[in-house]
Amino acid sequence: MVNYDLLIKEAMLARGFSYSPYSHFKVGCALLCKNGKIYTGCNVENAAYSEAICAERTAIVKAVSQGDTEFSAIAIVGGIDEITDFTYPCGACRQVMSELCSEDFEIVLYNGKERKLCTLGQLFPNFFKKESIK
């Protein structure tokens, strides 16, 4: 059973570390592994704008580089000041998620008031798979 409230709380804390002096759009996330571990991430921007790294990819790379590759859910929060809208993962992050996460991987969004649950299969159907290049 996924503790969605805990995951959102961890994402909010991680958002506090966002390095976003260019967009001022602060994103935080918390990635839950099947073994129960949680890896957090924030967006990390760069003066060379295109080198910005999203919060989701930060968390996934942290997890994989520490030996965790099986995931069940991710909570994502974003906004400039207060959180007022749902922040959906960008296309690049959806592709990166699709490498290691199954269709039922849960994506938990929070707009400051309520949460919304989606699955990777809903947000990213018919993706380019590793099986395609065998």
- Considering only residues 35-74, where is the footprint of ligand THU by CB under 6 A? 43, 45, 52, 54-56
The site string for ligand THU over 85-124 (x = CB under 6 A, - otherwise) reads ----xx--x-------------------------------
Tell me the β-bridge partners of 33: 71
Nearest to 81 by CA among 9, 18, 13, 26: 26
Give me the sign of the Cα torsion angle 121, 125, 130, 134: positive
Residues 6+ apart with CB under 8 A from 90: 54, 56
Q: Which of 3, 5, 6, 23 binds ligand THU (CB under 6 A)?
A: 23
Give the footprint of ligand THU on this chain (CB under 6 A). Answer: 20, 23, 25, 27, 43, 45, 52, 54-56, 89-90, 93
